[in-house]
């Protein structure tokens, strides 16, 4: 299975990707995580990326597509199935992805457009906590760790992402509406779009997706 998880910040793409990885062994290609890795290198490029992400702006199409091409052509077992999380984010990226997947003869099966109300997204983003060590996702209300500030999976420290503050969240939402939402139409025209109501609890999202995959 080869899919794209599409949706606004905080809709639950990473949470669902984690489940699909465990249940269906799909390999995640998450550009947000890939870019955060680049920022840790402390290079000039890493610092530029960090500054854009902290503002809630998009990193350039060229750079992101280059990272994805490298991963797909050299780091993925295409026979296992994969899912893109956070990519594509512009129509240009969607076109580049089509070209890439055509070249490696692994076209997308479908694109899951996850939808939720703005107040739901805000509550999810402001309460999110992430493990510094293993990347596991928590939420102070919806999925609290057993010990405050400590990851249940590996004992690592939980932190709040630098872009999960009110000002940056607002920019990320605007960028989503302006640059990313047009992709919904792009895939609808290809008859590859499936819509998912993501306002519900994570367990119900998983049930709805399981029904879609039957
Ligand atoms: P990225 O890391 O991709 O962030 P995002 O798209 O804004 O999405 P999030 O990770 O914030 O949310 P999510 O939908 O994964 O939600 P999650 O599952 O964590 O990108 C960050 C930045 O990198 C961008 O702003 C941009 O600068 C750059 N970038 C990345 N890709 C790029 C690209 N292709 N081109 C250019 N720039 C790019 O869930 C959120 C919280 O809610 C968690 O706490 C979770 O526990 C909880 N939760 C999840 N689902 C539920 C549920 N159903 N019920 C209750 N709680 C839930």
Return the residue whose CA atom lies nearest to atom 5 of ligand 1: 9
Q: Which helix (H) or strand (E) holds 163?
A: none
Q: What digits encode the pLDDT tens for the residues 152-210?
A: 999 999 999 999 999 999 999 999 999 999 999 999 999 999 999 999 999 999 999 99
pLDDT number for residue 214: 81
Q: Does the active-site annotation cover 103?
A: no
Q: Which of 36, 71, 128, 129 is catalytic?
A: 128
Angstrom distances, CA of residue 193 to CA of 3, 58, 129, 146: 10, 23, 30, 38
Q: Which of 36, 71, 129, 172 is catalytic?
A: 172
pLDDT at 141: 97
Quick one: pLDDT band at residue 80, thresholds 50, 70, 90? confident
Look at residue 77 in the predicted model and tell me its pLDDT: 82
Ligand 1: residues with CB < 6 A are 7, 9-15, 31-32, 35, 52-53, 56-59, 64, 86-87, 89, 93, 124, 128, 137-139, 142-143, 163, 172, 198, 201-202, 205
- 2 in active site: no
Whether the pLDDT of residue 75 is over 80: the answer is no
DSSP state of 93: H
User: Which residue from 31, 91, 96 is spatially nearest to 59, judged by alpha carbons?
Assistant: 31
Q: For residue 128, give the ligand 1 atom closest to its CA.
A: 44
Under CATH, which architecture does the 2-117+180-213 domain have?
3-Layer(aba) Sandwich (3.40)
Contacts of 131 (CB under 8 A, 6+ apart): 137, 138, 151, 153, 154, 156, 157, 158
Distance 10 CA to ligand 1 centre (A): 5
Residues 6+ positions from 65 with CB-CB distance below 8 Å: 93, 96, 97, 100
Provide the pLDDT for residue 42. Answer: 84
Q: pLDDT tens digits, residue range 13-64?
A: 999 999 999 999 999 999 999 999 999 988 899 999 999 999 999 999 999 9
- Confidence bin at 76 (pLDDT 50/70/90): confident
- CA distances to 153, 157, 159 from 136, in Å: 7, 10, 11
């Amino acid at each position: 299975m080869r899919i794209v998880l599409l949706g606004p910040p905080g809709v639950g793409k990473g949470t669902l990707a984690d489940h699909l990885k465990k249940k269906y062994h799909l390999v995640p290609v998450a550009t947000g995580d890939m870019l955060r890795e680049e920022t840790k290198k402390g290079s000039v490029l890493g610092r530029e990326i960090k500054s854009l992400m902290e503002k809630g702006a998009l990193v350039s199409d060229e750079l992101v597509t280059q990272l994805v091409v490298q991963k797909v052509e050299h780091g993925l077992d295409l026979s296992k199935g994969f899912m893109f999380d956070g990519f594509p984010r512009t129509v240009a990226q969607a076109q580049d992805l089509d070209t890439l997947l055509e070249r490696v003869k692994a076209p997308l099966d479908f694109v899951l457009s996850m939808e939720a109300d703005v107040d739901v997204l805000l509550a999810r983003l402001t309460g999110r906590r992430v493990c510094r060590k293993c990347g596991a996702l928590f939420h102070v209300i919806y999925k609290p760790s057993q010990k405050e500030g400590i990851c249940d999976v590996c004992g690592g420290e939980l932190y709040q992402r630098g872009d999960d503050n009110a000002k940056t969240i607002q920019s990320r939402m605007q960028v989503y509406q302006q640059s990313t939402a047009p992709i919904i139409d792009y895939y609808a025209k290809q008859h590859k779009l499936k819509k998912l109501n993501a306002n519900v609890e994570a367990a119900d999202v998983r049930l709805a997706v399981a029904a879609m995959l039957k």
